[in-house]
Amino acid sequence: MTVKLRTGIRPGDLSGVETARRLVEDGGVAGLSVHPRHASQRHSGRPDYELVRRLVEELPVPVLVSGGIQSAPAARAAFEQTGAAGVLLARGSLGNPWLFAELLGGRGEDPTREEVLAELDWVIEGARQHLGEERAARYLRKFYPWYVERLTLARAEEKAMLAAVQVAPTLAAARELFAGSAAASAPL
């Protein structure tokens, strides 16, 4: 069994670190993943990779690092700074499945707008099949920002696109908005 945890609840709280030690010593876990931010930080603020490095050196099980990893350079830096057995791409991979290929050396360039829109269309269709039309239309609203930011729109266009897709009443309406984005970017 492996366990993922944060360092603590609030600044200065290291209860998660103590829990990690107990899980290894008394619980027999096979490995740990550490998100080196306290829970009250949520997903912002600087991760404490030094704390992860100390756990890597101290604990006899593999320690993985997670948190604050939004790009391939950030993943490599976290890996090098901590000496962790591996890196977990969590929120950093949302809307960016190309990050895996980039880390593995199979991709060196950002995805094209067409690739982003094709991937998003695949996500929309999968959600529709899994959740049904109405539920998927609501559920996907949290996904749209991850893809819109990769469309390389001007800031005003990006804000307008996000505002529009966040209130799109149906998947067809959202798809139409994204298709309009693709058409607007096509060369004349």
Domain boundaries, the chain: 2-103, 113-185
Q: Kindly state the tokens that stand for 57.
A: 């050196």
Distance from first CA to last CA of the chain, Å, rounded?
A: 56
DSSP letter assigned to residue 110: P
Given a cut of 70, the residues of the chain with pLDDT beneath it are 39, 182-188
Per-residue confidence (pLDDT) for residue 188, from 0 to 100: 32
Whole-model pTM: value is: 0.77
Domain 2-103: give its CATH code. 3.20.20.70
DSSP letter assigned to residue 87: E
Q: What is the rounded distance in angstroms from the CA atom of residue 89 to the CA atom of residue 92?
A: 6
Q: Kindly state the tokens that stand for 79.
A: 């890996």
Per-residue confidence (pLDDT) for residue 162, from 0 to 100: 94
Per residue in 37-64, is it b (16+ CB within 10 Å) or e — as a string?
Answer: bbeebeeeeebbbebbbebbeebebebb
Task: Give the distance, in angstroms, between the CA of residue 109 and the centroid of all CA atoms in the same chain.
Answer: 19
- pLDDT tens digits for range 55-105: 999 999 999 999 888 889 999 999 999 999 999 998 888 889 999 999 988
